[in-house]
Amino acid sequence: MEPSENTNKKPIAALLRQYPRGHVIAAGSLVLGLSLLLAFSSSEGTSSSRQSQPIALKLPDTGQVLELEPASLEAQPPFEAAENSPQPQAPEPEPEPQTLTYTTFTVKSGDSLSVLFKRAGLSDRDLYELIDQAPEARALRRIMPGNEITFGLTPEGELEELVYQRDQLRSLRFARQDDAFASEELERTPDVQIAYRRATIDSSLFLAGQRAGMTDNLTMELAGIFGWDIDFILDIRRGDTFSVLFEEHFLDGEKIGNGPILAAEFTNRGKTFRAVRYVSAEGDANYFTPEGRSMRRAFLRTPVEFTRISSPFNPNRRHPVLNTIRAHKGTDYAAPRGTPVKASGDGRIKLAGRKGGYGNTVIIQHGQTYETLYAHLNAFHRNIRSGVRVKQGQIIGYVGSTGLATGPHLHYEFYVNGSVRNPVTVELPQAESVPSSELARFKSQVQPIMAELEQYHRETQLASVGNELRVN
């Protein structure tokens, strides 16, 4: 989340002053903290009036309380002073904050905002007022069953505050501020713990993962990391082992999900592969060997999930529609119409348009050496047009049969230095290693992680040796 301009302008003090259900302000995200600082530093020299209370931010990780004092307070806004009353020396004391009554509703299937407002004792007029005054309230139209909405009402029954809990971590809050509603997005930071699992494959990768207490998603992620070196359908053998170090996320002591895999090791038919996650200086997360070589190739072998190869690469083929000998310069992957087609590598779109018998075609230029071509597309992805940069795996279009094609399929061509190659057999270059300028940063980031993986590894080995000794 980036601090948006809006965030900086919100009267955060008012929003933080009260929190329903007596929670400590969980605005622990550093991003919000940062945006607060930005808000105050940018307030110098501007003429907005602000609350005078210091703002306490409790960081959930450390329990540290951060107090922020607004740097300077503007003069009181001009107001009609009652006649004869002396000019006040100091700003009037703030009126006591009203005591609000908070009620939380869980959205049920079939609930609309209007229904929820009625349940809270409010009218459609209140709802329109909120949506009219706070553009962010449009997000409320996407409420889903299970979401929670908290209403804070004055003793007179007027809406003063509304909190929409989008998910376990993010909430959107609206608070009446003068004559309008101000909004604020709050994000909680989960507590992160490192977890370790190790398994030996007996029959299948997924069963081994499940036995080790891994979710199928986590196992899939693991397979994705090593999928460039190991064919998980053909290469897996009984006795293969793997271990994985990953993040587990907790909120108020309850597990809410897994974070990324931090490091993993896979031994396939006696050969061991190691991977570690590294977040580059630019913020991109990727997996590398502990030496800094990329775990992935610069190109996907196949840019589409296909049912079969309907026509292989063949320089001397009789064309099925033209019935003449004409090289088949690519591989045809049969797939249902509409199947997403992915960019096989990072690059720049050279063409996204009609190209004779190829029909709707995308050509991607990958650096100086490589080019890939995707033909007969039913449609292009809406973000795809000439000149646009794409990432490996990004959807560029959808399988179709435009141009000269007998049925829906992707015709895929692969060029190296201008000459066409068989996409199925061409040697795919490794994706870029960690640049040498970043190697020191890489080492300092990944060495402790690899050491931790090793440590767990030794401990479990010792434990299993101990078990065997006990059994025998």
Distance CA(194)–CA(244), nearest Å, equals 10
Comparing CB distances to Zn ion, the nearer of 10 and 411 is 411
User: What DSSP character marks residue 163?
Assistant: E
Residue facing Zn ion at closest CB distance: 411
In whole angstroms, how close is the CB of 313 to Zn ion at the nearest point?
Answer: 9
- How near is the Cβ of 352 to Zn ion at its closest, in Å? 19
Neighbours of 315 (CB within 10 A): 11
State the minimum distance, in angstroms, from the CB of residue 332 to Zn ion: 4
In the complex with Zn ion, the residue whose CB is nearer, 210 or 401, is 401
Distance of CA 220 to the CA centre of its chain: 17
411 binds Zn ion (CB under 5 A): yes
What are the angstrom distances between the C-alpha of 305 and each of 49, 240, 301, 382? 57, 27, 11, 20
Q: Which is nearer to Zn ion, 299 or 412 (CB)?
A: 412
Residue whose CB is less far from Zn ion, 326 or 443: 326
Nearer to Zn ion, 70 or 320 (CB): 320
Min separation Cβ 119 and Zn ion, Å: 59
Q: Which is nearer to Zn ion, 265 or 332 (by Cβ)?
A: 332
Task: Name residues contacting Zn ion, limited to 310-369 (CB under 5 A).
Answer: 332
> What secondary structure does DSSP assign to 44-90, as a single string?
TTS------S-EEEE-TTT--EEEE--S--PPPPP--PPTTPPPPSS
User: Residue 381, interface with Zn ion (CB under 5 A)?
Assistant: no
Tell me whether residue 177 or residue 314 sits nearer to Zn ion (CB atom): 314
Instruction: Tell me the closest approach of the beta carbon of residue 105 to Zn ion, in angstroms.
Output: 56
Instruction: In the chain, count H helices and then E strands.
Output: 8, 23
Nearer to Zn ion, 176 or 411 (CB): 411
Contact (Cβ atoms closer than 8 angstroms) between residue 217 and residue 258: yes
Size of the site for Zn ion (CB under 5 A): 2
Report the SS3 class of residue 422.
coil
Name the strands in the sheet holding 241-251, side by side, starting at the edge strand that comes first in the sequence.
Answer: 191-200, 241-251, 254-268, 271-279, 285-288
Q: Which stretch binds Zn ion (CB under 5 A): 119-127, 144-152, 171-179, 404-412?
A: 404-412
Measured from the CB of residue 425, what is the shortest distance to Zn ion in angstroms?
16
Which range of residues in 50-58, 202-210, 223-231, 405-413 is near Zn ion by CB under 5 A?
Answer: 405-413
- In angstroms, give the least distance from the CB of 407 to Zn ion: 11
Closest approach of Cβ 331 to Zn ion, in Å?
7
User: Any residues with CB less than 8 A from the CB of 118 and at least 6 apart, and which?
Assistant: none
Question: Cβ of residue 324: shortest distance to Zn ion, in angstroms?
Answer: 14
Q: Kindly state whether residue 413 participates in binding Zn ion, applying the rule CB under 5 A.
A: no
Q: Which is nearer to Zn ion, 117 or 333 (CB)?
A: 333
Q: How far is 379 from 79, CA to CA, in rounded Å?
A: 62
The tokens describing 19, both together, are: 């929190």
- Cα separation of 159 and 395, whole Å? 44
Footprint on this chain of Zn ion (rule: CB under 5 A): 332, 411
